Amino acid sequence: EAGVTQSPTHLIKTRGQQATLRCSPISGHTSVYWYQQALGLGLQFLLWYDEGEERNRGNFPPRFSGRQFPNYSSELNVNALELEDSALYLCASSLLLGVGNTIYFGEGSWLTVV
Amino acid sequence: AQTVTQSQPEMSVQEAETVTLSCTYDTSENNYYLFWYKQPPSRQMILVIRQEAYKQQNATENRFSVNFQKAAKSFSLKISDSQLGDTAMYFCAFMKHAGGSEKLVFGKGTKLTVNP
């Protein structure tokens, strides 16, 4: 069974541009999460989608946005890129939560802003 | 808000020995879940073990076991018979049981090095 898959593996963008990262959850999982792992800041929760709806959002500015498609895949968009957006972006998925289902992670997408 | 604290930024252990990683957390919730994730140099987060707060029995997964002390809000990970492949960052994480804010709250991590 395929795990959580993310693309691209690496992405280099210029400050001010937009970046789009994509994620496919484990088959059968309806919830998708995005986390940012920036150097020295640890893992920070970004967004949670379930059944196509944004369910929760971390403490990030509105230029971080995303969506979940009918097939439960998701994309994360970062507009007006800033140097400090350089980080590993991890996508994760789980079955519908509320009962503490385990969250499984993908291998991440490295975003470098120059 | 929940917080997770890992007080050991780095640890090392000799191959085949046992090591314990510490984690404490702060919450007013009664029902929640605790996890240990491993992040090797490949950067993928791999679930090591999970514990439901309502279960008194400590979780075990092969060489990995936890010491869950709910009253003390402590959740340590013991790795027995350490192997070179255990070298990684280890993150302790907390998740509320329910309530519409499902998200993992992570500690800062402990970098574990297993020496041959």
What domains can you pick out in chain B, each with its CATH number?
Answer: 3-99+108-115 (2.60.40.10)
Share of chain B above pLDDT 70, in %: 95
Q: Which residues of A2-31 are buried (b: 16+ CB within 10 A; e: fewer)?
A: eebebeeeebebeeeeebebbbbbbeebbb
> Which among A88, A104, A107 has CB closest to B47?
A104
Q: Domain holding A67: CATH number?
A: 2.60.40.10
> Which among B45, B98, B100 has CB closest to A90?
B45
Instruction: Please report which confidence band the pLDDT of residue A103 belongs to, taking 50, 70 and 90 as the band edges.
Output: confident
Q: Determine if the peptide bond prior to A70 is cis (ω within 30°).
A: no
Minimal Cα–Cα distance from A18 to chain B, Å? Answer: 24
Chain A residue whose CA is closest to B96: A100
pLDDT at B95 over 90: no
Mean pLDDT of chain B: 91
Mean pLDDT of chain A: 92
Burial of B24 (0-12, 13-18, 19+ CB in 10 A): middle
Give the pLDDT of residue A1.
66
pLDDT at B30 over 90: no
Residue A98 has which token pair?
A: 């509320």
Bridge partner list, A44: A36
Q: Cβ distance B91 to B107 under 8 Å?
A: yes
Query: Could you tell me the residue range of the domain that residue A26 belongs to?
Result: 5-106
Asked whether residue A95 is assigned to any structural domain, the reply reads yes
More confident residue, A20 or B53: A20
Chain B residue whose CA is closest to A49: B102
Asked whether residue A113 is assigned to any structural domain, the reply reads no
